[in-house]
Amino acid sequence: MMGHPLALVGLSDGGAHVGTVCDASCATFALTHWADIDLRDRGTVVGQRADLNVIDPEKLALHRPRMAADLPAGGRRLVQHATGYRATTVAGEVIVESDRMTDARPGRLVRMG
């Protein structure tokens, strides 16, 4: 299945088991273990609103999961950080720079239909 050109591995639990599952790492895990990335022939987005990730494949890595007690009423959840994301933009605004979140929150809810 992994070899199929239309296959994309993912996991989502909708937050139901945040104390036992940390599925935020799926994309980074797929990139570090399953992907052979060669994106040198891609186009540009000059002047366009875009959601982009600028990735440093040499530094792309997952860190150990840790427990955080930052949910309402002291609820606990697993958190797993990654490094190697030089920048992430949403709607043309930088929300991650050098593996750290910025204060920008340009995204919005998109509804179908």
Q: Please check the confidence at residue 8 and state whether its pLDDT lies above 90.
A: no
| 3-class state of residue 53 by DSSP | strand
Q: What is the pLDDT of residues 44-90, one digit of tens each?
A: 777 776 788 899 989 999 999 899 998 889 888 888 889 999 999 98
CB 107 within 8 A of CB 91: yes
In the chain, the amino acid numbered 45 is: V
CB 85 within 8 A of CB 24: no
pLDDT band at 39 (very low <50, low <70, confident <90, very high): low
Q: What is the pTM of this model?
A: 0.66
